[in-house]
Structure 1
Amino acid sequence: MDTAKRDAHAWMDAHKEHLSQWHRTIWDYAEPAWREYRSSAWYVRTLREHGFEVEEGSGGMPTAFSATWSNGPGPTLLTYAEYDAVPGNSQAPVANREPREGQSEFAPGHTDPHSALGMSTLAGLLAAQDAMKRNEIGGTLRYTGEPAEKVQGSKVVHGLRGYYDDVDAIISFHPFYMLPLCNTTRWDTQCGSYYSRVYTFICDEPETWLAADEASPIPASHSSARAPGANAALFTMYSLTKTTQESMLPSHGGWSLTEALLPAGQATADNLPARVASIQYSWRCPDLDMAERVLSVLDRNAEHAAQASHSRLATRWVARNRPGITNHTLAEATYRNLAEVGAPTYGPEAVEAARMVQKGLGFEPMEDPFLDECQSLIEPKEAERALREHMPSWQTNWTSDDYVEMTWYAPTVRFYVARPALKVPEGSPGYPSWVMNALGGMPEAIDPTIDTAGRTVAGTLLDLMRDPQTLVRAKEEFDQRRAERGDTPALLAADFMPPTELPWPDYDSGTGAWSPAASFETDDHGRTVQSR
């Protein structure tokens, strides 16, 4: 290990407690997509304290940012933070299912966890910055704050606005979320396309549905037939799409379709139809042709649902991403640094915390409760081989994440480091989802992820800053692979505005937040029931 990397590792050693505390801050904020006000403000403040110039609200996104620090001539390298949480996943960092103090179980929580994603890349960024200063290494560090990854909302916007145009390489990190992609870099099979679109039904003139009661002085009396309205349109769309889903695409390739009802409905009168209602559909596909076929069916369903319910239709894109482009040159350079650091290791406190979780669930506590894969590396080509065993030969992309848009602007590497995950006892169906969420908030369990990923990011940044030939090869590979993909421009217009005005869930931001705790309670058996 050379002097610059030793300096970066020394910075990591000296700031372990800070990083742990910083991570817990973001983990506790747990703000959902497009509503990460406190989280983004924390990053902006911290980056400025470390000498970065920061643009707040980059790309027209209130909770995004773009930060830059330069140490003179040299390459421009970018990594980024994510910090959005997932509604309905509030979990305390304890060995039983329990929401965070003062929160409803329906409030957001970090599932992936993006809190560790952002803290890992921030650690690597600041460690590399310190080493660059000490060793007089020229170059520019760029760091973007990417909100709303759970609806894949920000990177397409940053791309359209030119935030990645002058970047020589991009490092994309994510805590591991599926085997075999644990402690490795992605090789060939990058993530695929992701579309997300909101369909809003508006019933402008419910009184014109049928003739009004001639004896009534109002146009939509109780005794007249009333328009089905927006809610009827929404549920017609919902039912029709469920009916036609199996006919959209063949049932292979790992594609998926999900829906969410946005809280735009109305519940203010018992004798009038709803005037507006919205439903969001999101779908993941290996390629754009499949994604477009799903879109065509959804659009037709929405048009017919609106017509049948005396409503008009409005649509709004949330995200529309191209499948990712791989870069072997950067994958090899990053994996070398990951191998130099080694896989995460879990100390006695982490083991004891994991054993307490197992005991609480009625499992026999294990001597070594963490997955073996979390504590070992896997070569990128071997991970690729294992991944391809489950996929048809024609498929080139799988799953989704909006880092794929970055891969169209600059050479990009995607790497993974283990998050704490437990071995499944023999004969058991596995663990409930709250277990991994809880482990993601326990410092003794999640700090090894941040430490390993941070050192890997720092080492990779320092290597690329001092090795122009690697960047030349990465750019040549990028140009070749992009040419092979053909002319595939961005899928949204250059002036596309992020959909921050939509009624996304909003809990604790101080902007008129809704707390689901007021709407639900639990019975004597701990089951959720509607409040009376």
Structure 2
Amino acid sequence: MRAILERQEVQMTAQLTAAQTSAIAHVQDQRKRLSDDCATIFDFGETAWREYRSAAWYVDRLRAEGFTVEEGSAGMPTAFYAEWSNGDGPVIGMYAEYDAVPGNCQAAATHRAPRDGLGYQAGGHTDPHSGLGIAGLGGLLATKAAMEKHGIKGGLRFTGEPAEKVRGSKPIHAAAGYYDGLAAILSFHPFYMLPMCNTVRWDTHCGAAYSMIYRFICDAPQDWGVSDTPIPQSHSAVRAPGAGEALNMMFTASKALRDSMLPHQGGWSMSEAVLTHGQATADNLPAGLAELQYMIRTPDIPMAEQVTAALDRNAQAAADMTGCRWERHWVCKSRPGLANHAIAGTVWEAMQAVGAPAFGAEAVAVAQEVQKNAGMTVMDDPFLPEMSQLLAPQAAEACLRRDLPPSQRNSTSDDYTDMTWHAPTARFFVARPALRGGPYPPWVMNALGGIPATIDPMVQTAAKILAVSALRLLEDKEARDAAMAEFVERTAKDPIPPLCDYDPPIGFRWPEYVTTARGFDWWIPSGMDEA
């Protein structure tokens, strides 16, 4: 067995160029710093459009590493655009995400607990984007180090992508040209569903996503129910129901829409969130403002347009019945993804050279402690077996297609898809820590994404794959040209231009951290949480 392993190691080493070997060594040398960086972003736990500390951290770090950085790119305060050049040559794009999710505050601990000084309603990393972004940074810096050491010409572009959970920044960056002119884009994500674990997407990329905010304004309540006969005693007069009732009607009607309008298969979904709801301290006045956000995930754009038209009709009806007017404000309009077999093959070769992440004895001990504290059976081998296995892209594709209609080209949703229309893009997944058995409460996955022993293997492996893939593309003109030729052919066959025709939706009442006389806290005070 040892001889076989040694032969495999020799074969793996032979597949790597000197620059690629240097990049892997760089990630190894930086693993402690990557671990600390990942913990830093995890502890920030900042949510969509309010990732102030996270974005500032990346900007400072990239400038210290020799990158030229534009803060607030495309009008988004928590986005950035960084670039570095080692001379004329192809430019490779990578990126970081760093937004967390409200209501998922979890410490990097083996039991359920919010981060220090906060309650459970605060933001927390679920995917986790903390690990995603630091893996991207680690791959970027390893590529840069190898390019400098081995004299490889070309450049690197690194974008900071806020608000991914509402599909926020990438459609905006795309429309503003930030992905134009790239030879390739490398898109990494922690695995979140089987079979997409330690593999690369092949044909079935993510679908379209629309998100919008319906705003109801009751600014002329005196005009609702108006009569020629004056009514004394204003407190008993007929009053406009107001924006709160409009929101309630919209919410209820659109739930009926979700249940009846579209097929119950095919990877589409619609969800909603209340952003604002009236004036809580008013006495006898109708609520003047209410806002309801929707996220629509569909395989294609026509389906997203169909759902939007139905929601618009519901909004008009709700406004008519409650004495309001209504507005629709876009959060995102994201295109479905475009496949590219050539670049997917290049990344798959890099993934095979690097291998799957290894979760050692310390990670196993952490996972077992989590199982115990979650009230589950403690297992000798607590992790999913798929975490330590590589899966060929074609095999993953075949498994994915088993649950989809033959006519459906895209499934689920993620806004990396907008990048695929501007440069050859590979989307790959590396195992994050996930436990056998279950179902587990949400805090388990969130905690495992923050504990260094369990999340570091994913971060380091993904950083190596990113660096090796980038260097393969920089060093191999034939691979680069094949990816670009396929990109040109596919985009010419069925072009979809950017859909973003709106300003960044940064001015809404997005959940965020606040500092008051009471100190630093989530916008829902920590004292309101369950014990």
C-alpha separation between the residues in 1 aligned to 2:344 and 2:256? Answer: 42
Between the aligned partners of 2:456 and 2:526, the Cα distance in structure 1 is 35
* 1:492 lines up with 2:505 in the alignment: no
Question: When the two structures are superposed, what TM-score results if normalisation uses the length of structure 1?
Answer: 0.94
What's the counterpart of residue 460 of structure 1? 469
**Aligned partner of 1:477 among 479, 486, 489:** 486
Matched ranges for 1:366-385 at <5 A: 366-385=379-398
- Alignment pair present for 1:43 and 2:43: no
Task: Give the structure 1 partner of residue 10 of structure 2.
Answer: none
Shift of 1:466: 1.1
Work out the CA distance in 2 between the residues paired with 1:512 and 1:504.
17
What one-letter code is carried by the residue in structure 1 that aligns with 2:224? Answer: W
Residue 128 to residue 151, structure 1, CA distance change in 2 (3 Å): same
SS at match of 1:501: coil
Residue 157 (structure 1) aligned to one of 158, 172, 178: 172
The superposition leaves residues 370-404 of structure 1 with CA deviations (integer Å, 9 ceiling, x where unpaired) of 11001110000001011111111111100000000
CA contact (8 A) 1:464 1:470 kept: yes
Cα-to-partner distance string for 1:426-451 (whole Å, 9 max, x where unaligned): xxx52111101000010000000011
Deviation above 6 Å: which 4+ runs of structure 1? 509-513
Letter in 1 for 2:184: A
1:65 aligns with 2:80: yes
1:187-226 to 2 correspondence within 5 Å? 187-211=202-226, 214=230, 216=232, 221-226=234-239
Q: In structure 1, give the amino acid aligned to 2:504.
A: P
- 1:443 counterpart letter in structure 2: P
For each residue in 1:278-307, what CA deviation from the matched residue of structure 2 results, as whole angstroms up to 9, or x when unmatched? 001111011112111111110100011111
- CA positional deviation for 1:11: 1.1
Residue of structure 2 aligned with 1:74, choices 66, 70, 89 = 89
**Aligned AA for 1:323?**
P
Q: Are 2:307 and 1:294 aligned?
A: yes
For 2:187, the equivalent position in structure 1 comes to 172
Change in CA separation of 1:499 and 1:100 when aligned onto 2, cut-off 3 Å:
same
Equivalent residues of 2:121, 2:529 under 8 A apart:
no
Q: 1:457 & 1:451 partners in 2: Cα distance? A: 10
1:20 and 2:31 are equivalent in the alignment: no
Distance 1:68 1:211 in 2: 61
Shift of 1:480: 1.4
Question: Of 290, 295, 298, which aligns to 1:277?
Answer: 290
Question: Does the CA contact (< 8 Å) of 1:104 and 1:515 recur in 2?
Answer: no
Residue segments in structure 1 that go unaligned for 5+ positions in a row: 527-532
CA distance in 2, matches of 1:49, 1:148: 25
CA distance in 1, matches of 2:503, 2:107: 35
Match of 1:529 in 2: none
Which residue does the alignment assign to 1:409? 422
Q: Does 1:232 align with 2:245?
A: yes
* Partners of 1:248 and 1:297 within 8 A in 2: no
1:222 partner SS? helix
* TM-score normalised by L of structure 2: 0.94
Distance (Å, rounded) in 2 between the aligned partners of 1:509 and 1:285: 38
Task: Pick the aligned partner of 2:433 from 416, 420, 426.
Answer: 420
Are the counterparts in 2 of residues 52 and 67 from structure 1 also a CA contact under 8 Å?
Answer: yes
Cα deviations by residue, 1:47-100 (Å, 9 ceiling, x for unpaired): 000000000000000000000000001101100000000000001122221111
Is the deviation greater in 168-177 or in 513-522? 513-522
Q: Distance in 2 between matches of 1:508 and 1:138?
A: 45
Cα distance in 2 for residues equivalent to 1:230 and 1:513? 29
Do the aligned residues in 1 keep the contact of 2:85 with 2:156 (CA within 8 Å)? yes
Stretch deviating more after TM superposition (441-450 or 359-368): 359-368
Pick aligned residue for 1:505 from 494, 497, 511? 511
| AA matched with 1:168 | A
Q: Which residues of structure 2 form unaligned runs of 5+?
A: 1-15
Contact 1:324 1:405 in 2 (8 A): yes
Which of 147, 159, 180 is the matching residue for 1:144? 159
Alpha-carbon distance between aligned partners in 1 of 2:307 and 2:298, rounded to the nearest angstrom: 9
Aligned residues: 513
Give, in angstroms, the shift of residue 2 of structure 1.
Answer: 2.1
What is the RMSD computed on CA atoms of the aligned residues?
1.6
- Per the TM alignment, residue 509 of structure 1 is displaced from its structure 2 partner at its CA by 7.2
Once residues 291 and 384 of structure 1 are traced to their aligned partners in structure 2, the CA distance between those partners, rounded to angstroms, is 24
- The answer to whether the 8 Å contact 1:190/1:324 transfers is yes
Structure 2: which amino acid aligns with 1:498?
Answer: P
Q: Is the 8 A contact 2:243 2:277 kept in 1?
A: no
User: Identity of counterpart residues, as a percentage?
Assistant: 51
Match of 1:260 among 273, 291, 296: 273
- Superposed CA offset, 1:209-254 (max 9, x none): 234894758xxx2121110000011111111111222332122211
**Cα 1:215–1:432, aligned 2, differ >3 Å: closer, same or farther?**
closer
How many angstroms apart in 2 are the aligned matches of 1:286 and 1:215? 54
> Secondary structure, in 3 states, of the residue corresponding to 2:236?
coil
Distance in 2, Cα, partners of 1:478 & 1:264: 46
Deviations, residues 492-525 of structure 1 (Å, cap 9, x unaligned): 32xx210000110011578997532356243xxx
